[in-house]
Amino acid sequence: MEFNVRRLAADAGTFLSRAVQFTEEKFGQAEKTELDAHLEMLLSRAESTKHWTEKIMKQTEVVLQPNPNVRVEEFLYEILDKKVPTRANNHEMLGQCMIDSGHEFGPGTAYGSALIKCGETEKLLGSAEKEFIHSSAINFLTPFRNFIEGDFKTILKERKLLQNKRLDLDAAKNRMKKARVADARSAAETELRIAQSEFDRQAEITRLLLEGISSTHAHHLRCLNDFVDAQAAYYAQCYQYTVNLQKQLGSFPSTFSNNNQPSGSSSASVCVPTAPPAASLPAPPPSQASPALNELRSSSGTRKARVLYDYDAASSTELSLLADEVITVSSVPGMDSDWLMGQRGNQKGKVPITYLELLN
């Protein structure tokens, strides 16, 4: 108990001595021991490394996750040491939306099939993005964060200890100057030698830690290379996915005209097969009707038919058509001989015979 009291008293005395020395230095009433230029340069480089490492980390997190709300949520899960719930990213949500709409319009239609293919590619892009983010977090952000939360905190601790030892040294120098009695001077000299020794030892420890910043830079350089490699692989993968999608979409017939294309544009126009309105096309005479059409009318079955021209439905009972798409048709008793009942996915309506080619 007595030992603890003496130790607390000594600590209080040391703290008071440092406070007095610090205050007198601020008011220019006491001399201050300056650190050597090399050590000051190392301290400055460490501060600069910490500053830019934090900025690079923050901006990288913005690139990997632009949504600030999601970043905050992930940070809270990290603090609570809980696993972040798996969620679909924007590419995956867009892909699923395209796939669902494609199935609604009908996988057998050109537009529906194209939507499904685009949706599948968007999902692949989303998966590649997740892999890139995961790789960057492990190989790039984690080492940077480890430096801020580990090595640099150790440097701060030792630098603060060096500052205290420097205050002790300067306080001892002041007491040495003020000592007049021989015994007091002898005690002051002993205290000064001890303070100088402890300061030199702490300066060396701090210097060794600060020189380790060079190793930190070398490590961060390797992490930067890993990040760039991950970026290159990610963008190359995305490029390959989109090129493959372009090839798949290129296999579809060009049936759409660009209504927004200005007249006189140098861009190549898309030729769309046109036909006169269905009402102006007479039905083929019975003697010229195809055997397939006669067979369809005489039965209650269905046939596949290829659309020859675009057709815009004139009423809700009709079905709009796109050239070159394949639909299912059937004959309905009592229906006008110029028409058949067409079906595309969940959509159903009358279609003009003259716009169709029955398939075997």
pLDDT digits (tens, 9 = 90+) for 199-228: 999 999 999 999 999 999 999 999 999 999
In the chain, where the domains are located: 30-249, 292-358
Mean pLDDT of 84-97: 88
CA-CA-CA-CA dihedral for 279, 353, 344, 347, to nearest 10: 40
Q: Which helix (H) or strand (E) holds 339?
A: strand 339-344
Whole-model pTM: value is: 0.61
- Of 6-20, 177-191, 274-288, which range is least confident? 274-288
pLDDT digits (tens, 9 = 90+) for 229-260: 999 999 999 999 999 999 888 776 554 444 44
User: For domain 292-358, which architecture applies?
Assistant: Roll (2.30)
pLDDT at 3 over 60: no
> Pairing state of beta strands 302-307 and 326-330?
antiparallel
What is the band of 123 on the pLDDT scale with cuts at 50, 70, 90?
very high
What is the band of 82 on the pLDDT scale with cuts at 50, 70, 90?
low
**b/e burial code for range 244-254 (CB count within 10 A of at least 16 → b):** ebeeeeeeeee
pLDDT at 168 over 60: yes
Residue of 118, 116, 117, 80 whose CA lies nearest to 101: 116
Give the three-class secondary structure for 296. Answer: helix
Query: 30-249 belongs to which homologous superfamily?
Result: Arfaptin homology (AH) domain/BAR domain (1.20.1270.60)
pLDDT digits (tens, 9 = 90+) for 339-359: 899 999 889 999 999 899 888
Higher pLDDT, 11 or 163: 163
Average pLDDT for the chain: 83
pLDDT digits (tens, 9 = 90+) for 278-334: 444 444 444 335 677 777 777 778 889 999 988 888 888 999 999 889 999 998 888
Burial of 172 (0-12, 13-18, 19+ CB in 10 A): buried
pLDDT at 188 over 70: yes
Task: Summarize the chain as % helix, strand, coil (round to 5).
Answer: 65, 10, 25
